[in-house]
Structures are given as C-alpha cells and as structure tokens.
Amino acid sequence: MPEALFQVKRLSELAQAGQLKGKRVLIRSDLNVPQDEAGNITEDTRIRASMPAVQMCLDAGAAVMVTSHLGRPTEGQFKSEDSLAPVADRIATLLHRKVPLISNWVDGGFQVQPGEVVLLENCRVNVGEKKNDDALAKKIATLCDVYVNDAFGTAHRAEATTNGVAKFAPVACAGPLMAAELDALSRALANPRRPLIAIVAGSKVSSKLTILKALSEKVDELIVGGGIANTFMLAKGLPIGKSLAEPDLVNEAREIMDLMEKRGAHVPIPEDVVVANELSPLARANRVPADQVAEDDMILDIGPKTAARLSTMLAHAGTIVWNGPLGVFEIDQFGGGTKMLAAAIAHSPAFSIAGGGDTLAAIAKYGIENQVDYISTGGGAFLEFLEGKTLPAFEVLAERAKD
C-alpha cells in the first residue's frame, strides 16, 4: 500500500488556516439513506455523519453547497422518488437552519451566501455523472473555490462528483469522514502494529479471492470463515458433508496456505465445527471434530475449541482487520463463533478496523460498536481497498495535494 496514497489536503487544515472564509465550498457527501415506500427516511446515520463537514465550513465563514446521490436514478430523467427533498428536511432539522434544495444546478444560476448552506439535487440525475464526463465535471468545478470529498462509500467509483470535479476545482481536499477512513486504513494496512490478523469470511472464495490473495502477502494470520473456510478445509483434505464450498477453487486455497507458510504466516483451519442437517432456526446444532463431519451435515459455524483458539490469537494481536461473520450468526445456535470472536476483538488491545454489511450487523447484534476502533461504512470501497486497489477518489486527492 503506497504511503503517498494517504497524503491529501484536509478540510480541517483549510478551515484552521482561515482559507474557507468567503469561499464557495462544494461538499460531495454520502447521503444515500434508506427510505420507506412513502419516501420517509428510515435510518439517518449517513446524514448525521456528514454534518461535521458542513458545520466546519459554516463556522469557517464559507458559502456551502452539498450534493449526493440517492438511490439509482436514470441520468437525465428526474423522478420525484429521486429527490433529496427528505434529506434537505432532515439536514435542516439537524442544523437548525433553512436548507434550500436546488434543482437543475449544474449551470449555476442560484445564490448561496457565506454562512448559508444549500443542497444540490441528486447528482446522479446529471447526464455524464456515472461516466465521469470531463465536460460535466468542469462545469461543476466552476461553481466552487474548494471541492471537498466526504463520501468514502463512493471512493471506489470514478464519477464526475467523486473524481472529475476534484481534477478541475481550484482546491480539492478530503472531508473529516474521508480523512478518518484514510487514517484508519493506513494504520491497519500501510503501517500496522504486528501481529496483523485479518478475518475474511463469507459464502464464496471466488467473491473474496483477490482480497485473500492480497492479504495473504501482508498478514501474520488469515482467519477464514463461512463457505470460504469450508473450501480451505477441503484443501486440507477434511470432510465437509453438504456444506457450501467451491471445490474448483481448492488449488487457489492451497496456494494461499503455501504462500503464507513459506513466510511463517498461517491460515488457521477449524479443529471443530457446528453442523446441522438443515439451515433453519429450528435446526439442532451439533458440535463435532473437524474430521468427523458426516455426509449429510452442513457446517454452519466454527466450534467452541476453534473459537477459543482464535480468541487467544486475537488477544495477542497488534492489528485486526475484520470482514465477515464466522457462521450463520443471524440464527443464534450458529452464532457462537462470531459472538466469541466479536468479544475477543472488543477486549483485544489491538487496533481494530471492521467493514462490510454483514460485519456491521454482527457488531450491532453483539453490542461492540464502541469497542471496535474504527468501523468503516464504505462497503465496496472498503473491500476494494483490502484488495490492494487504488481507489479513484483517493488517487485524485493525493495527486491534487501535490499542487
């Protein structure tokens, strides 16, 4: 992971240096919140998380414009359900001020004074947004003196408001959310405290193969779970019954284990597992040694011996990266492994970073939100970073920081 990736201008630095006063600031936020059928916002975490950047700019005397995508609109075809109107209402409530919603804003023609904030309608309705069209990006860039990217969840997409505008705006910087994500990812992967332990779990090796390969070159222990662990068990010659696995990827699993062993690192294979004949809340969960899985068994969790061994490992870690629950944790009798590892991560002195939808659900279920050092809300961006990919939003901000 190149260090240069993390050298970006930061909004907080510009604010402290008085460089926002009287300036037009455009913030690309991630306000893509869930809504019910009537358009009411059902969960507003992303909006709340985006407010510190807005408040920072207002306090610094800037004229503030905020935009975001919402849902999956068709470019050039605005529909009422695509509107950020409910978001504007929620921001107004949170900031205790008027937040006008501006439509058809690309060509300007609207007013925003220092100390005011406006919301610019759904940016993905603009023709050329998804293709990162230079002509569109240049038009948007003329609206501002300072461009701020505070939408880490879109950092892996090269779009006009996430990448293009950053190329053409007079100044381009990272907002507090983006900067915090960069700092956490940098600490976890660019310069980690050892031992570095990664937990990668999920149903398929194929969907996480590039992540597994990228991490296998960096980590000291690579804990695998779910269907991924079953494929690694197959690679070790263990029986897995009718468990979810990908037999055609056994060679890749062996390669990863061999590569790690050559440099003194490991993929710990379960020594016991929890099995059932069906995946159901009513299924009877049986604990069996890993070499005694019957033909009609499905492996649905790691066993208590394995969970205890992994927990000890996590207690002595320097850095922990967590992506994916270890079993079918939504059903309590198959959640023991994930619950035990969640507790181990919560109590470990290691720097811990977690990301991915199922991982966040497990963190919420076991109530350890305040005991994980950094929870990434990035989803796809978090996964692509773990794969070792350079994210377009990071890349352009790092490039502009050299100006």
Q: What does the pLDDT read at residue 383?
A: 86
* pLDDT over threshold 70, residue 4: no
Q: Residues within the annotated binding site for substrate?
A: 30-32, 46, 69-72, 124, 157
Catalytic member of 204, 213, 236, 389: 204
Tell me the three-class secondary structure of the chain, residue by residue: CCHHHHCCCEHHHHHHCCCCCCCEEEEECCCCCCECCCCCECCCHHHHHHHHHHHHHHHCCCEEEEECCCCCCECCECCHHHCCHHHHHHHHHHHCCCCCEECCCCCCCCCCCCCCEEEECCHHHCCCCCCCCHHHHHHHHCCCCEEEECCHHHCCCCCHHHHHHHHHCCEEEECHHHHHHHHHHHHHHHCCCCCEEEEEEECCHHHHHHHHHHHHCCCCEEEEEHHHHHHHHHHCCCCCCCCCCCHHHHHHHHHHHHHHHHCCCECCCCCEEEEECCCCCCCCCEEEEHHHCCCCCEEEEECHHHHHHHHHHHHCCCEEEEECCCCCCCCHHHCHHHHHHHHHHHHCCCEEEEECHHHHHHHHHCCCHHHCCEEECCCHHHHHHHCCCCCHHHHHHHHHCCC
Using the structure block, give the residue that is written with the tokens 């991982």: 359
What percentage of residues in the chain have a pLDDT greater than 90? 89
* pLDDT over threshold 80, residue 370: yes
Bin 281: left if φ > 0, else alpha if -120 < ψ < 50, else beta.
Answer: alpha
C-alpha dist (Å) from residue 238 to 21, 159, 234, 235: 65, 46, 5, 7
Q: Residues within the annotated binding site for (2R)-3-phosphoglycerate?
A: 46, 124, 157
Please state the rounded mean pLDDT for residues 48-68: 97
Reply yes or no on whether 357 is catalytic: yes
In contact, 295 and 288? CB cutoff 8 Å: no
Reply yes or no on whether 21 is catalytic: no
* pLDDT over threshold 70, residue 3: no
For 194-349, the fitting CATH number among 3.40.50.80, 3.40.50.1260, 3.90.550.10, 3.40.50.300 is 3.40.50.1260
Confidence of residue 1 (pLDDT cuts 50, 70, 90): very low
Taking each helix axis from N to C end, the angle separating 357-365 and 336-347, rounded to the nearest 10 degrees, works out to: 80
Please state the rounded mean pLDDT for residues 86-92: 98
Equal fold, 3-175+390-401 vs 194-349: yes
Q: For the segment 150-175, what is each residue's pLDDT rounded down to a tens digit? A: 999 999 999 999 999 999 999 999 99
Catalytic member of 23, 28, 46, 139: 46
Q: Which residue has the higher pLDDT, 55 or 403?
A: 55
Q: What does the pLDDT read at residue 388?
A: 84
Side-chain half-sphere CA neighbours of 195 within 13 A: 16
Q: For the segment 306-357, what is each residue's pLDDT rounded down to a tens digit? A: 999 999 999 999 999 999 999 999 999 999 999 999 999 999 999 999 998 8
Catalytic member of 18, 22, 76, 357: 357
User: In the predicted model, what is the mean pLDDT of the chain?
Assistant: 95
* pLDDT over threshold 70, residue 2: no
Q: Residues within the annotated binding site for ATP?
A: 208, 330, 356-359
In contact, 348 and 313? CB cutoff 8 Å: no
Bin 274: left if φ > 0, else alpha if -120 < ψ < 50, else beta.
Answer: beta
In contact, 268 and 310? CB cutoff 8 Å: yes
Please state the rounded mean pLDDT for residues 119-144: 98
Q: What does the pLDDT read at residue 6?
A: 66
pTM: 0.89
Domain ranges of the chain: 3-175+390-401, 194-349
Confidence of residue 377 (pLDDT cuts 50, 70, 90): confident
Token pair in block for residue 188: 């976890």
Reply yes or no on whether 380 is catalytic: yes
Q: For the segment 227-245, what is each residue's pLDDT rounded down to a tens digit? A: 999 999 999 999 999 999 9
Confidence of residue 207 (pLDDT cuts 50, 70, 90): confident
In contact, 139 and 6? CB cutoff 8 Å: no
Superfamily for the 3-175+390-401 domain: Phosphoglycerate kinase, N-terminal domain (3.40.50.1260)
Q: What does the pLDDT read at residue 378?
A: 81
Q: Residues within the annotated binding site?
A: 30-32, 46, 69-72, 124, 157, 208, 330, 356-359
* pLDDT over threshold 70, residue 94: yes
